Amino acid sequence: MTFSTLFRAAALAAFAGAALGAAAPARAQESAAEFFSAPFHGVRPGLSLRPQQAALPRRVVQFTTQHAPGTVVVSTKERRLYLVMEDGKAMQYGVGVGRPGFQWGGVQSITRKAEWPSWTPPAQMLKRRPDLPRFMKGGPDNPLGARALYLGSTLYRIHGSNEPETIGEAVSSGCIRMTNDDVTDLYNRVRVGTRVVVMR
């Protein structure tokens, strides 16, 4: 095949792509909706390969609060988590929160920390989603992600996610989701016993 033939073929492909471009976003949205509404039967291909770039990057912000430095404050309304620092500042992270009907508020403490935690869906979740696995070992495809911080005697956790696109959304069953990078950063900054305040 000559260079001119290759050039013409490339030009035709580009023209066809431009002509069909208007329909492409709709198809992409439909396929994404189908992907995330489909029953869960184990590891979803490709999730562990998605970049963990935060749509809401962590940063130090001004934060006026009565809570002591070292306290974790979660604003479900803002969909932000704040780690209170000295001098009226906080480390701010983007989080995913409980969907309508699953949001909660209160004061808890971190009672356990785990790296690459395994996941055993609670009975309440299995009742709603009998298609879920009964157990998943820890790893990149586990819904709890790279780190988990367990909150008191509740079923809730602050944890990583293999679906970073859900950060900033209200989609969970009450847990606080973070990107794997952000939850690892938070994990390294807090200890067991840390106070966690969740505000609705």
Which residues are annotated as catalytic? 159, 175
First to last CA, the chain: 65
Report the alpha-carbon distance of residue 145 to residue 147 in Å, rounded.
Answer: 6
For 124, what's the count of Cα atoms within 13 Å in the CB-facing half-sphere?
6
Which residues touch 184 (CB under 8 Å, ≥6 apart)? 146, 147, 160
Closest by CA position to 82, among listed 96, 72, 95: 72
Q: For residues 125 and 99, is the Cβ–Cβ distance under 8 A?
A: no
Report the alpha-carbon distance of residue 13 to residue 73 in Å, rounded.
Answer: 52
Report the alpha-carbon distance of residue 80 to residue 96 in Å, rounded.
Answer: 8
Report the alpha-carbon distance of residue 94 to residue 180 in Å, rounded.
Answer: 12
